[in-house]
Amino acid sequence: MTEEKLSFQAEVAKLLDIVVHSLYSQKEIFLRELISNASDACDKLRYAALTEPALLAGDADLRIELVIDKDARTLTVRDNGVGMNREDLINNLGTIARSGTSEFVKALSGDQRKDVSLIGQFGVGFYSAYMVAGTVEVRSRKAGDEHGWRWVSDGKGEFTVTEVADVARGTSITLHLKDDEGEFLEPFRLRQVVKTYSDHIALPVVLKGAEGAEDETLNSASALWTRSKSDITDEQYTEFYHHIAHAFDAPWLTLHYRAEGAIEYTGLLFVPTEKPFDLFTPERKNQLKLYVNRVFISGDCEGLLPPYLRFVRGVVDSPDLPLNVSREMLQHNPMLAKIRSGLTKRILSELAKKAEGAADEYATFWATFGAVLKEGLHEDYERRDDITKLCRFASTQGDGLVSLAEYKARMKDGQDAIYFITGESVDALKNSPQVEGYLAKGVEVLLLTDDIDEFWVASVPSYDGTPLKSVGQGVADLSKIKGEEKAEDEAKKDEAPASALDSLIAALKAALGEAVKDVRTTDRLTSSPCCLVANDGEMSLHLERLLKAHKRGPDSFPARVLEINPSHPLIKGLATRAEAGEGSSLDDAAHLLLDQARIIEGEGPLDPVAFARRMAKVMERGFA
């Protein structure tokens, strides 16, 4: 048969280079990766055979075998699963198809130490074989096909594919071990590695006996989730999590339970410690593996979990779902909706327990997945209260995170709203003019910096009967709140007279025209002379910027309300001039006030050239 020579995709070549030249201290994990792939291949075949039983014909006993050949110095991992045809071999073993992977590989810096820890989180699957093997030979025949294929490569840029006869269904991967990797030819070593990393694999992993010796099954070969909790060690849970989630961190939360009653199912669920790289892909797919009576059905069954819990990994197995429907049909099965509801409830209640526990531990979860969970505030009306209780926020009080319940408990007398501000960073928000008046009164303001915050605040009007209110929107009425009264009284005394302020407002409006929606005084400012706010019901300034960044909003920043601080010396000085009939000479001052308020909001001045000219004029008066 003719041999075809092909090149690896550039990203694969780069990955292989790193794998071969460094990587893990634990080289033995190559075996876990190959067994994991073999087990997936068997799962896929069992699923396909539900509708096409002939695929299993003649060899229904799915298993994984390890074969040692000491003379040839080879170790073979073979399965009788779904197998691969020529295209599959080229696509799966020569390119990287998984979404986000190419970006990931491009991000590798070339610095071995950094790259290894990155890859550690990610996994290299099949390619890890090159940690111990110089040459890898794959023989495979796809279930239902007549022809088999042989794929060979030394991992140095090229591989060959040839059609071959006499290949059994499934895949066999032969590793020609490097000189110093002879340990993987020793049965005791393989026994140890399989027990450590692959005990939970539901299929038997069999070590073929050499020269007439008996075959030996190295693992427990029962699906981990079907075993009783008391028989499972933490290490076994972790290994299982690594296998199903393709993850390398320790799970932050492990939840294993059996639901009985209206619907029966077992859930073995994990919340990762580290953020999966594909958490924010537009599909927002969940990655739970769905089994029906231990038969694998789907790795991302839509409808099994709401998108805001997509960070949860694990397995759900139910005998109550029909085995003979397609994945697509399953999404609309009423039983699935019940499982979804049960899973959601259970996960949220476990998270609630954690939220009540050690604050530090919960804070790490919140920093990693809080932004995803908050999508639920916007999307899951039914569970909004439960999700709200799980939320934590940065605030103007202290460096820690605060829950809404804690916030409410420390509200000031006369305060009738939960105040928040949205923006890019906690530090910038803490210093923004809009929060000055609240800070002066000791009124706490929540600082919301996730993009999703803009969306949920629009759909959650209140918490426990108390409205949520943006300090950057609408009129601030701080007079009713009994805060640090002294500071307030002093500020009041110092205000410009009302008539002078009225003249100034008229002058500013005349000078700025359409560039502002309105001009008014406010008590939200203490040290800044002015700021911009949105009216109630209008888009916040931050949201406007977000949409603009995604090219979804208007190109120009729409007119806003300019609020002035009646006790600021600059405003008082301008008010005096305005009252004295010098309003028309305040043009430059009006534009400079607006431009600085825009700059604080992350916008440029209305007209940069005019801004620079005015600024120079003012500076000239002070310095020349």
Ligand X SMILES: Nc1ncnc2c1ncn2[C@@H]1O[C@H](COP(=O)(O)OP(=O)(O)OP(=O)(O)O)[C@@H](O)[C@H]1O
- Residue number with CB closer to ligand X (94 or 437): 94
Contact predicate 142/88, CB 8 Å: yes
Q: What x-and-dash track marks residues 228-247 binding ligand X by CB under 6 A?
A: ------------------x-
Contact predicate 446/407, CB 8 Å: yes
User: Cβ of residue 42: shortest distance to ligand X, in angstroms?
Assistant: 8
Q: Which of 84, 205, 309, 418 binds ligand X (CB under 6 A)?
A: 84
Q: Which of 9, 92, 192, 236 binds ligand X (CB under 6 A)?
A: 92
- Known binding residue 619? Answer is no
- Known binding residue 123? Answer is yes
Of 538-577, binders to ligand X (CB under 6 A) are none
Contact segment (CB under 6 A) with ligand X among 34-42, 212-220, 430-438, 600-608 equals: 34-42
Of 157-216, binders to ligand X (CB under 6 A) are 171
Binding of ligand X by 394 (CB under 6 A): no
Binding of ligand X by 123 (CB under 6 A): yes
Q: Which of 82, 448, 519, 530 binds ligand X (CB under 6 A)?
A: 82
- Residue number with CB closer to ligand X (29 or 448): 29
d(CA 543, CA 423): 8
183: number of Cβ within 10 Å: 15
d(CA 597, CA 434): 11
Contact predicate 246/99, CB 8 Å: no
Binding of ligand X by 125 (CB under 6 A): yes
- Known binding residue 260? Answer is no
Q: Which residue is nearest to ligand X (CB)?
A: 125
HSE, side-chain direction, 13 A CA sphere, residue 595:
19
Q: Residue 15 has which token pair?
A: 């990955």
Strands of the sheet containing 516-521, edge to edge, are 516-521, 560-564, 530-533
Q: In this structure, what DSSP letter does residue 534 have? A: B
d(CA 265, CA 343): 10
Binding of ligand X by 41 (CB under 6 A): yes
- Residue number with CB closer to ligand X (141 or 598): 141
Binding of ligand X by 38 (CB under 6 A): yes
d(CA 454, CA 468): 12
Contact segment (CB under 6 A) with ligand X among 75-83, 150-158, 422-430, 509-517 equals: 75-83
- Residue number with CB closer to ligand X (277 or 455): 277
Of 246-275, binders to ligand X (CB under 6 A) are 246
Binding of ligand X by 376 (CB under 6 A): no
Binding of ligand X by 81 (CB under 6 A): yes
Q: Which of 8, 35, 37, 205 binds ligand X (CB under 6 A)?
A: 37
Integer angstrom CA distances of residue 338 from 151, 154, 288, 346, 443: 45, 50, 16, 12, 44
User: Cβ of residue 84: shortest distance to ligand X, in angstroms?
Assistant: 5
Alpha helices in 60-111 (DSSP H): 86-94, 101-107
User: Cβ of residue 109: shortest distance to ligand X, in angstroms?
Assistant: 20
- Known binding residue 324? Answer is no
- Known binding residue 100? Answer is yes
Please list the residues that pair with 420 across neighbouring strands: 446, 470
- Residue number with CB closer to ligand X (41 or 508): 41
d(CA 568, CA 525): 9
Q: Which of 48, 100, 126, 162 binds ligand X (CB under 6 A)?
A: 126
- Residue number with CB closer to ligand X (26 or 535): 26
Contact predicate 255/269, CB 8 Å: yes
- Known binding residue 84? Answer is yes
Give the H/E segment covering residue 476: none
Binding of ligand X by 108 (CB under 6 A): no
366: number of Cβ within 10 Å: 21
Give the H/E segment covering residue 14: helix 10-21
Binding of ligand X by 24 (CB under 6 A): no
Contact predicate 185/68, CB 8 Å: yes
DSSP line for 596-618: HHHHHTTPPPSSHHHHHHHHHHH
Amino acid letter for position 326: S
- Known binding residue 131? Answer is no
Taken as a whole, the chain contains a residue count of 624
d(CA 390, CA 334): 28
d(CA 149, CA 147): 7
What's the longest Cα–Cα distance across the chain?
Answer: 111
Contact segment (CB under 6 A) with ligand X among 121-129, 355-363, 555-563, 592-600 equals: 121-129
User: Cβ of residue 307: shortest distance to ligand X, in angstroms?
Assistant: 22
d(CA 209, CA 67): 8
**Which residues make Cβ contacts (< 8 Å) with residue 44, sequence separation at least 6?**
81, 82, 296
Give the binding-site size for ligand X (rule: CB under 6 A): 19
Contact segment (CB under 6 A) with ligand X among 14-22, 76-84, 404-412, 538-546 equals: 76-84
User: Cβ of residue 59: shortest distance to ligand X, in angstroms?
Assistant: 15
- Known binding residue 122? Answer is yes
Contact segment (CB under 6 A) with ligand X among 79-87, 113-121, 305-313, 580-588 equals: 79-87
Binding of ligand X by 79 (CB under 6 A): yes
- Residue number with CB closer to ligand X (91 or 226): 91
Integer angstrom CA distances of residue 255 from 251, 269, 449: 10, 5, 30
Pairing status of strand 462-463 against strand 401-402: unpaired
Contact segment (CB under 6 A) with ligand X among 36-44, 303-311, 436-444, 501-509 equals: 36-44
- Known binding residue 125? Answer is yes
Numbered residues of the known binding site: 33, 37, 79, 84, 92, 99-100, 121-126, 171, 327
Give the interface with ligand X as residue ranges (CB under 6 A): 33, 37-38, 41, 79, 81-84, 92-93, 98, 123-127, 171, 246
Numbered residues of the known binding site for ATP: 33, 37, 79, 84, 92, 99-100, 121-126, 171, 327
